[in-house]
Amino acid sequence: IPSTECLKDTFSKDFYIGVALNGRIIDQADSLSLNVVKKEFNSITAENIMKSMIIHPQRDSFNFEMADKFVALGEKYDMFIHGHTLIWHSQLSPWFSTIEDSLEFSTATEKHIKDLAQHFKGKVDSWDVVNEALNEDGTLRKSIFLEKMGEDYLTSVFKWTAEVDPKADLYYNDYNMTNPEKRQGAIRMVKKIKEQGGKVDGIGMQGHWHLNSPSLEEIEQSILDYSALGVKVAITELDVSVLPNPWDLEGAEISQNFENNEGMNPYSNGLPDSVQVQLANRYKDIFNIFLKHKDKISRVTFWGLSDGQSWLNGFPIRGRTNYPLLFDRDLKPKAAYDSIIALK
């Protein structure tokens, strides 16, 4: 493979190819990683630093320093910049839960959204307005937002974002979006928001996937179903875990016990060639579907640059050695990288 070859050029006519950036890369503290990011990707998402807990630590003060560096980096290299995330129950700034009164909570949430959307207006190209608002059965998650504002909070938050930044593409983002029940829930949700006058431009399928699940059929059908709503579809947090999935275990309970279970961390001394090949084939199959539906897909973003930087070394069990991305621990492209480049 000639060294000039890269992901962003390979897929330039198809969709944006993105990567989630950790704080070290954003802070220019990891120049080796930054070089790979510049060469390979044309879209960036902040892995953590735009979450409410970090960017809006107190009700009346913001911490824009890292986020501004993130945006400056994207502008410098002419990248598509995705904002993650305005409304999420997790990594939520603690001040939200100190507000008792519903109306006051709603007003503070509106201000949270509008202040962020205003600060990044014209810089952030698209937003995850809401992250992970659905349960697996397609009902609405009992978050503080649902409790305080009622189910129409979803429409409100999309409206508020659009009022301030009508040009940004606004996404609903979630995991397990290929699960049929959750998919129906997402479709109902987006239809309702639109009926109520909210602006939704896209659906983000996080894409935290495994070697054998979800099935290719489920992935493809989900892309088709979401696209049929008249919105863009993005794959927003792609990684493919090669490790046993504790959620699959009968009666699984995520507990310390798993950390002492050797079977849960089988590749701490390296990835066998056979699994390397399995991963490459899985990525090839997945990208085949993306390419088949490139007219429906706006962006494919990987959740981290290299295996060593992946959150999946620590989730849902701490201290494992996972290999979910296209670049290895030395930032070298893996067989999975070659397999998707070879599709073109």
Residues marked as catalytic: 132, 237
CA distance 222 to 215: 11
Compare residues 79 and 177 and give the one whose CB is closer to ligand XIL. 177
Compare residues 131 and 161 and give the one whose CB is closer to ligand XIL. 131
DSSP-assigned letters across all residues of 207-263:
-EEESS-S-HHHHHHHHHHHHTTT-EEEEEEEEEE-S--GGGSTT----HHHHT-GG
Compare residues 48 and 93 and give the one whose CB is closer to ligand XIL. 48
Contact 101, 142 (CB under 8 A): no
Per-residue b or e along 213-232, where b marks 16 or more CB atoms closer than 10 Å to that residue's CB:
ebeeeebbebbebbbebebb
- The CB-of-312 to ligand XIL minimum distance in angstroms stands at 9
* Residue facing ligand XIL at closest CB distance: 311
Length of the chain counted residue by residue: 344
What H or E segment, with its residue span, contains residue 161?
helix 153-164
- The CB-of-206 to ligand XIL minimum distance in angstroms stands at 6
- The CB-of-74 to ligand XIL minimum distance in angstroms stands at 18
Q: Which residues bind ligand XIL (CB under 6 A)?
A: 47-48, 131, 206, 237, 311
CA distance 312 to 244: 12
- The CB-of-338 to ligand XIL minimum distance in angstroms stands at 25
Compare residues 24 and 292 and give the one whose CB is closer to ligand XIL. 24
- The CB-of-173 to ligand XIL minimum distance in angstroms stands at 6
Distances, alpha carbon 318 to alpha carbons 19, 254, 281, in Å: 23, 10, 27
Compare residues 33 and 131 and give the one whose CB is closer to ligand XIL. 131
